[in-house]
Amino acid sequence: MSIIKLEGIAKIYRTKEVETLALENVNLEVAKGEFISVMGPSGCGKSTLLNIIGLLDEPTSGKVCIDETETENMKDAELANFRNKTLGFVFQSFHLVNSLNVLDNVELPLLYRKHVKNRTEKAKAVLERVGLSHRMKHFPSQLSGGQCQRVAIARALIGNPKIILADEPTGNLDSKMGAEIIELLHELNNEGTTIVMVTHDEHIAKTTRRIIRFFDGRRIE
């Protein structure tokens, strides 16, 4: 069963003078429980692909199907709900909220979900999972890069998403920290979470089951 299915996806960016074709005729299927890497040089469209899968951006043409649901005509509220329940994001530059402490950062997704009890307990649980429960009250500016990324992963996890989308998760980390993060991702994958990871690091990509390569907006294999 494919949990992610992209058919004929194209994404064109238009400005007044230039038309950029970021993605062209992309077809992709990801099965449930897979851990795949998307690789390619900079500017080849891999981040755009991730944004489209993550429903952060709309394709210019083509169909997107997440968890067997077509997302083409979904309204803002539906999309938001979907993002909240089914997807979890990890960004290259962490994107933590600097004015909130670690615990609040992790709880954030649950704020937008109705009928949630024990938010704080759940947050503490995931923080323990990523090994950061001793830093609950600290602020992002007081943590190292690796710690920040772990908080971001905790945040991505707290809603029990079916899919985690990671955009160059080790890009801003040194090799040791990067290895820890990948290890964490593998743990999650073993528990059943589907992971789509964009990376430019061959070593890391090789640890995943499938690698998809992109060049100039097209899949190459």
Partner 1 sequence: MLKQNKFVSAISIIGTALAIMMVMVIIVTDQIKTNNIAPEINRNNSFYLKYHIEKSKEEENSYSSGCVTYNVYKNYLSDVKSYDMATLFTPVWSDEKYIIHVNESKIRRFEPVRLCDADYWKVMSFDFVEGRPFNQIEFNDGLNNAVLSERLAKELFGKESALDKTVYIFKQLYKVIGVVKDVSQTFEFAYSEVWAPYTTVPNFEEEGYHAIYVIDDKDKRSLFYEEMRDVERKYNANEDWNLTLQGPYNHRLQMGASYSNVKPEFVLIILKYVFIIAILLVIPAINLSSFSISAVKKRTEEIGIRKAFGARNKSILLQVLYENLFTAIIGGFIGLILSYFTVIWLKEWLFNVTTGDSIPLVAFVSPAVFLYVFLVCVLLNLISSIVPAYKASKMNIVLSLNQK
* Least CB distance to partner 1 at residue 76 (A): 5
Asked if 62 and 9 count as a contact pair (C-beta separation under 8 A), the reply is yes
CB of 160 to partner 1, least distance (A): 13
**Closer of 31 and 108 to partner 1 (Cβ):** 108
Please identify, using beta-carbon distances, which residue of 164 and 205 lies nearer to partner 1: 164
Residue with smaller CB distance to partner 1, 54 or 178: 54
CA distances in angstroms from 130 to 84, 148, 221, listed in the order given: 20, 11, 35
Compute the distance between CA of residue 166 and CA of residue 187 in angstroms, rounded to an integer: 15
Interface residues toward partner 1, by CB under 8 A: 51, 54, 56-57, 76-77, 80-81, 83-85, 89, 91, 93, 95-97, 99, 108-109, 111-113, 155, 159
Strand, helix or coil for residue 104: helix
CB 61 within 8 Å of CB 8: yes
- When the beta carbons of 24 and 58 are compared against partner 1, the nearer one is 58
Contact by Cβ (8 Å): 82, 91: no
Residue closer to partner 1 by CB (options 34, 167) is: 167
* Smallest distance from partner 1 to CB 202, Å: 26
Give the position of tokens 């040194």. 174
SS3 195: strand
171: three-class secondary structure by DSSP: coil
Decide whether 50 or 205 has the Cβ nearer to partner 1: 50
| CB of residue 207 to partner 1, shortest distance in Å | 26
Work out how close the CB of 139 gets to partner 1 at its nearest, in angstroms, rounded to a whole number. 12
- Least distance from partner 1 to the Cβ atom of residue 59, Å: 13
CA dihedral 152, 107, 156, 187 (to 10 degrees): 90
Structure tokens at 186: 């593998």
H or E segment to which residue 151 belongs: helix 145-157
* Rounded (5°) CA angle 67-36-62: 50
